[in-house]
Amino acid sequence: MVRKASAVWKGNLKEGKGVVSTDSGVLSNTQYSFSTRFEDGKGTNPEELIAAAHAGCFAMALSGQLGNAGMTAEVLEVTAAVTLEKTDAENAKAGCPISRLLKAEISLNSKLVS
């Protein structure tokens, strides 16, 4: 099973804006920016999406474990919080909090187009 999402960012870090989309269409050009990530701007951010993914995954996993024990929950309410901390990372690959959270192996290929 492969699930895909994409992001497009335009501009510099503080004044730039981006959008995220998922192949399912649940997110389609959903706005994110410096202010949605580090302030109270309108839109989403990577940490919020990870918190939602974790809450959803945990609720399903708990439901499965309860089912294995012969029980069914009427309602499972799960809240997840992701805290963003500053680091002294040297580059985007090492400095992305989501990459560190997932401890994902990342291969990076880039091409500068002007």
DSSP character string of 79-93? -----------SSHH
58 and 78 assigned to the same domain: yes
SS3 97: helix
Q: Are 92 and 60 in a shared domain? A: yes
Give the whole-angstrom CA distance, residue 47 versus residue 97: 8
pLDDT in tens, 12-64: 999 999 999 999 999 999 999 999 998 888 899 988 998 898 888 888 988 99
Specify the number of domains making up the chain: 2
Helices vs strands, H then E, count in the chain:
4, 3
Q: Domain range holding 14?
A: 1-44
Nearest to 50 by CA among 15, 100, 1, 105: 100
Give dist(CA 7, CA 21) in Å, integer.
Answer: 6
User: What's the pTM?
Assistant: 0.75
Indicate if 39 and 56 belong to the same structural domain.
Answer: no
**Residue pair 31/42 in contact by the 8 Å Cβ criterion:** yes
Residues 4, 37 share a domain: yes
